[in-house]
Amino acid sequence: MLMDVVEMLSQTREGWLGRISHRLARGAGVRESFLEQLNQLYDAFQHAVESGDPTWLEPTLNSWVKSLTQSELTDEDSGLVAILNEILILTYQYLEETLAAEKSNVVMNALLPNFTYAIEYTSRQETQARIDHISKELQIAQKTLERLDKSKSDFISVAAHELKTPLTLLDGYTSMLRDLFPKDDEMSQAVLLLKGIDNGTRRLREIVDDMIDVSLIDNNLLALNFQPIWLNQVLEALCEELDTTINNRQLSLDIKEFPGLHEMTFGDPERLYQAFRNLLTNAIKYTPDNGVITVDGKVLPGFIKVKIKDTGIGIDSEDHTRIFQKFGQLGNISLHSSGKTKFKGGGPGLGLPITKGIIEAHGGSIWVESEGYDEEIFPGSTFHVMLPIRKSPPDEKTTALYKSIVETEL
């Protein structure tokens, strides 16, 4: 019986090949190479039927999967499973037409389990090939993104350093010009104009410094100068600096007496001042007049947790991560209005990435909580900062420098 089937398969071979290749392959060139592949498939089917082992089909199917083109791998509808299904239907029709009903049934029954195996096997292999292809594409996209991010970071760093030279020139010439006027001539037109230039260059210098900080953070080059610090001192100094702005905007800044406020910890005072300054100036910028900004906190095991809460416009939950990325300012850039403290006076979008970089360099973390962005009900935002409590600086040299303080704290 088995020999009959094998015999019948040999007899129908030429006709089958002709039918299938004619139906499935268009164009003489395509048909020729397809014929070769069909020949291999037919051989494999014969071996599988003869031995009762469908794994004979695997090498041919593997070579088919391997030869899938890029577009076939990305297009879910075109694939080998569809072709195998068509071959199955055409085979059935062909056998029905050329063999007597009984014989065609016998051959079809012998072929069917092998077709099922071939389709299942190909489906698995094809899916794996698609996954491999997509992962490769993803890796390429990831590399391109990394390269783009690197060139963005390189650009920021080069631009910042290039801008420093003309800034220094501007500073120098303005101060020489100022020296040409008598010291008590505060109100003359020229002196007032010079003040305007001064303000402009100062703001420009701040932006350039921010750009340099961002590129230091991007390249893990932010060096901290650890010293004993007390948060109350940092916050008091900030209150003093921001007092006029807070009054001008009729805001209130309430710093609560929280556990940890007077606790000594090692950190970089200038950098922490900069980080909290960014958070407070943002709270000022994004809170309308008459709003309230509250600083509160608590001590958690190993950490001081500080909370900066405002009654401002709030931030949509989908932007809670984005605002910590460089140039992550929200809204329409073309409507961007620059200003350090005026309501919604956006900056270049570098403040929060720098703040995050500084806090993380200290071993801490920062995140935001807000019910969403709404300029009518003002849901407000709360920025949380976790700052590790360090009783000694991380390096031996600084520990030796602050030996007496470290010993009294231990």
Which chain residues interact with ligand ADP by CB under 6 A?
A: 278, 282-283, 286, 310, 312-313, 315, 323, 328-330, 346-352, 381
Min separation Cβ 195 and ligand ADP, Å: 24
Residue among 272 and 283 whose Cβ is closer to ligand ADP: 283
Strand, coil or helix: 289? coil
Helix (H) or strand (E) holding 257: none
- Both tokens of 108, joined, read 């079809």
> Which position has the token pair 């469908």?
54
Closer by beta carbon to ligand ADP, 211 or else 323: 323
Nearest residue (CB) to ligand ADP, 144 versus 325: 325
Q: Encoding tokens for residue 318?
A: 């989908």
Give the nearest distance from C-beta 183 to ligand ADP in angstroms. Answer: 36
- Which one, 121 or 383, has the nearer CB to ligand ADP? 383
**How far is Cα 363 from Cα 228, in angstroms, rounded to an integer?**
16
Comparing CB distances to ligand ADP, the nearer of 278 and 392 is: 278
Residue nearer to ligand ADP on the CB measure, 274 or 278 = 278
For the bound state, the minimum distance from the C-beta of residue 254 to ligand ADP, rounded and expressed in Å, comes to 15
Specify the residue, 57 or 313, whose C-beta has the smaller distance to ligand ADP: 313
Q: How far is the CB of 351 from ligand ADP (least distance, A)?
A: 3
Q: How many residues does the chain have?
A: 410
- The four Cα atoms 3, 6, 11, 16 give a dihedral, to 10 degrees, of 160
Neighbours of 214 (CB within 10 A): 25
CB of 389 to ligand ADP, least distance (A): 26
3-state secondary structure of 376: coil
**Beta-strand runs (E) in 126-226:** none
> Least separation, in Å, of the C-beta of 333 and ligand ADP?
10
Strand order in the sheet with 365-370: 252-255, 292-300, 303-310, 381-388, 365-370
Q: What is the C-alpha end-to-end distance of the chain, expressed in Å?
A: 92
List all residues 6 or more positions away from 212 whose beta carbon is below 8 Å from its beta carbon. 157, 160, 161
* Comparison of 9 and 385: residue with beta carbon closer to ligand ADP: 385
- Residue 396 to residues 43, 211, 221, 225, 230: CA-CA distances in angstroms? 75, 31, 20, 13, 21
Residue with tokens 């935001």: 368
**Cβ closer to ligand ADP: 103 or 203?**
203
CB of 210 to ligand ADP, least distance (A): 8
* Biggest alpha carbon–alpha carbon distance for the chain: 119
Give the number of other Cβ atoms within 10 Å of residue 359's Cβ. 23
Q: Looking at beta carbons, which residue is closest to ligand ADP?
A: 347
In 3D space, the residue among 260, 301, 308 whose CA is nearest the CA of residue 284 turns out to be 308
How near is the Cβ of 217 to ligand ADP at its closest, in Å?
A: 12
Tokens 């920062």 belong to which residue?
366
Minimum separation from the CB atom of position 293 to ligand ADP (A): 9
